[in-house]
Amino acid sequence: MAYRKPRTLRFARDMRSEPTLAEDRLWSHLRRRQMGVRFRRQEPIGPFIADFACPKARLIVEVDGDSHTDTARDRRRDRWFEDHGWFVLRFWDDYVLEQTDDALDLIDLALHDREAVPDPLNLES
């Protein structure tokens, strides 16, 4: 198992105890293998913490709110994940809250056919 900094683990634990409304709604569908695979919430991966991660499928799902206005930082973060074999799927909070079923369909598609997945950040909510 890779070494994880205690500070990162504490931060991940704190984030799990205070999810956003969108993260909470999505987690209610991803937990307990409801999509056929196991997801972990606020999972430390390398120097970052993924909102949701499915290690078996190497899939990361991020739910972004107003704090994600620095897209250059997110792009660097996504590139690190991708360079380490992960596929990153990002959603806006509003999209998850208003179109939960559509978000789940895209996650399911990413689990089975990544080439067919559109960019959820560019979808209309």
Return the domain boundaries, the chain: 6-117
Tens-digit pLDDT profile for residues 30-43: 998 889 999 999 99
Residue for token pair 């205690």 = 6
Q: Is the pLDDT of residue 1 over 50?
A: no
- Among residues 54, 48, 60, 70, the alpha carbon closest in space to that of 120 is found at 60
Residue for token pair 């960019």 = 119
Residues 6+ apart with CB under 8 A from 42: 12, 13, 15, 16, 49, 50, 51
CATH number of 6-117: 3.40.960.10
pLDDT at 125: 46
pLDDT at 113: 93
pLDDT at 36: 93
Ranges of beta strands (E only) in the chain are 40-45, 48-54, 59-64, 87-92
Tens-digit pLDDT profile for residues 22-73: 999 999 999 988 899 999 999 999 999 999 999 999 999 999 887 655 678 8
Residues 6+ apart with CB under 8 A from 25: 96, 97, 100
DSSP at 47: T
- The pTM is what? 0.82
